[in-house]
Amino acid sequence: MKVLCFSTHEFEQRYLKRWEEYYNLNVVFVETKLNETVVQLARGFDCISCWASDDLSKPVLESLSELGIKMISLRSAGYSHLDLIKAKELGITVTRVPSYSPEAIAEHTLGLLMCINRKYPKAFQRVKDFNFTLDGLEGITIHGKTVGIIGAGQIGLAFARIMKGMGCAILINDVSPRSDIEEELSAHYVDLKTLLKRSDIISLHCPLNERTRHIINSETIELIKPTAFLLNTGRGGLIETQALISKLKKKELRGVGLDVYEYEEDVFFKDHSESGISDEGLLRLMGFPNVLITSHQGFFTKEALDNIAKTSLENIANFSQGKDILKENLLTL
Ligand code: NAI
């Protein structure tokens, strides 16, 4: 079984190599991002491994199928970059890494919140400049506030548990409510409007799909209190960028923490320090003093990287040996 690994980042190499050896696989690692132009690189391979920024849309899948690709192993949990219906139609087996460290993303979400609330980046810079004044660094006490979680799956729940531990009340909006969670966290499942109106901190953790794209849009954003924080470590497309910019321009949000951005594909994971960037939306967001953006690094811990490498290569090993792939790792319609 010959495997081509697209979009291999420097930071994941040593984890991938370790598990490649362990599972006795034959993997060729390339930095190239998969899209229609470069799809021919997959000629001669049986399987490809893909990152969340690779293009797995219909035409790319059709070309991959013509080239004889039988399996796609995603090195991500989310699969909004893949046309699953087409992959199934073409008989391509697709696997993912459903859970690699939900706590890593939840902890990063808390980090974003604390940084925008207590203004740590600014405070750090001031002290570095021997400026020990406090003006402008005032935050709010998080204890006692209401946290609204949209999508309480693995990551949303991990974040809810952290915030419960900090003394917050928890509201949840989820298409599949769970009574055990309601009990464990003394949480309340509410509709989206209620959550947006009542929460002091809103955090997005649902997957990106046709139902959730722009779940925060020009209408729903108006329901959010002007004193609230909005956090997104889910997917950029959950928020309509222009609606967010308009709301921030009106000074109607206390702060925004983003680990993902609607049009991040061409910007994130690359060094633009010499060339600058031309994405107007991102530039505008970066211009607000109460917006903190990180470059999709929520997952970026040793434990998560190791789990991603292990599970994605284990899926390939099982497939190549005709063994059963864990049900939760297999993408089905
Ligand atoms: P999960 O599948 O465990 O949980 C998702 C939850 O969202 C489920 O409880 C589901 O019922 C709920 N949901 C689905 N549709 C909904 C809707 N229309 N409204 C409200 N809730 C809805 O997924 P997990 O592992 O918690 O990941 C969540 C998302 O986090 C992923 O889809 C991915 O987009 C993002 N993610 C971000 C990372 C980062 O580095 N920033 C890393 C990994 C995942």
Q: What does the pLDDT look like over 143-159, one tens digit per residue?
A: 999 999 999 999 999 99
Q: Is the CB of 157 under 6 A from ligand 1?
A: no
Is residue 74 domain-shared with residue 163, that is, in the same domain? Answer: no
Closest alpha carbon to 201 in 123, 292, 110, 298: 110
Is residue 21 domain-shared with residue 149, that is, in the same domain? Answer: no
For 154-171, what is the mean pLDDT? 98
For 230-257, what is the mean pLDDT? 98
Is residue 207 domain-shared with residue 238, that is, in the same domain? Answer: yes
Q: What does the pLDDT look like over 281-306, one tens digit per residue?
A: 999 999 999 999 999 999 999 999 99
Closest alpha carbon to 30 in 44, 46, 50: 50
Is residue 156 classed as helix, strand or coil in its secondary structure?
A: helix
Is residue 289 domain-shared with residue 242, that is, in the same domain? Answer: yes
For 162-174, what is the mean pLDDT? 98
pLDDT at 101: 93
pLDDT at 4: 98
Going from the Cα of 214 to the center of ligand 1, the distance in angstroms, rounded, reads 14
pLDDT at 91: 98
Residues of the chain with pLDDT > 70, as a percent, come to 100
CA-CA distance, 256 to 98, in Å (whole number)?
27
For 10-25, what is the mean pLDDT? 97
Active site residue 296: yes
Structure token pair of residue 134? 């406090």
Q: Is the pLDDT of residue 16 over 90?
A: yes
Is residue 306 domain-shared with residue 207, that is, in the same domain? Answer: no
- Angle (deg, nearest 10), helices 120-128 and 102-118: 60
Is residue 211 domain-shared with residue 69, that is, in the same domain? Answer: no
Residue nearest to atom 30 of ligand 1 (CA): 234
CA torsion, points 158, 116, 306, 31, in degrees to nearest 10?
Answer: 140
pLDDT at 318: 98
pLDDT at 266: 87
Is residue 9 domain-shared with residue 118, that is, in the same domain? Answer: no
For 67-90, what is the mean pLDDT? 96
Is residue 129 domain-shared with residue 272, that is, in the same domain? Answer: yes
CA-CA distance, 137 to 227, in Å (whole number)?
16
CA-CA distance, 131 to 224, in Å (whole number)?
35
For 299-322, what is the mean pLDDT? 97
Number of domains in the chain: 2
Q: Is the CB of 52 under 6 A from ligand 1?
A: no
pLDDT at 182: 96
User: What's the CATH code of the domain at 175?
Assistant: 3.40.50.720
Is residue 53 domain-shared with residue 121, that is, in the same domain? Answer: no
Residue 224 pLDDT class (50, 70, 90 cuts):
very high
Give yes or no for a contact between 151 and 209, defined as CB atoms under 8 angstroms apart: no
Residue 212 pLDDT class (50, 70, 90 cuts):
very high
Q: In the predicted model, what is the mean pLDDT of the chain?
A: 97
Which residues neighbour 253 within 8 Å (Cβ) at sequence distance 6 or greater? 224, 226, 228, 229, 230, 247, 290
Q: Is the pLDDT of residue 78 over 90?
A: no
CA torsion, points 173, 178, 179, 180, in degrees to nearest 10?
Answer: -120
Pocket test for ligand 1, best of 174, 216, 231, 303 (most atoms within 8 A of CB): 174
Is residue 266 domain-shared with residue 148, that is, in the same domain? Answer: yes
DSSP H or E segment with residue 232: strand 229-232
CB-facing half-sphere around the CA of 17: CA atoms within 13 A: 8
Is residue 226 domain-shared with residue 122, that is, in the same domain? Answer: yes
Going from the Cα of 265 to the center of ligand 1, the distance in angstroms, rounded, reads 19
Show the domain range for 145: 102-293
Which residues neighbour 97 within 8 Å (Cβ) at sequence distance 6 or greater? 74, 75, 76, 77, 307, 308, 311, 312, 315, 329
Is residue 235 domain-shared with residue 317, that is, in the same domain? Answer: no
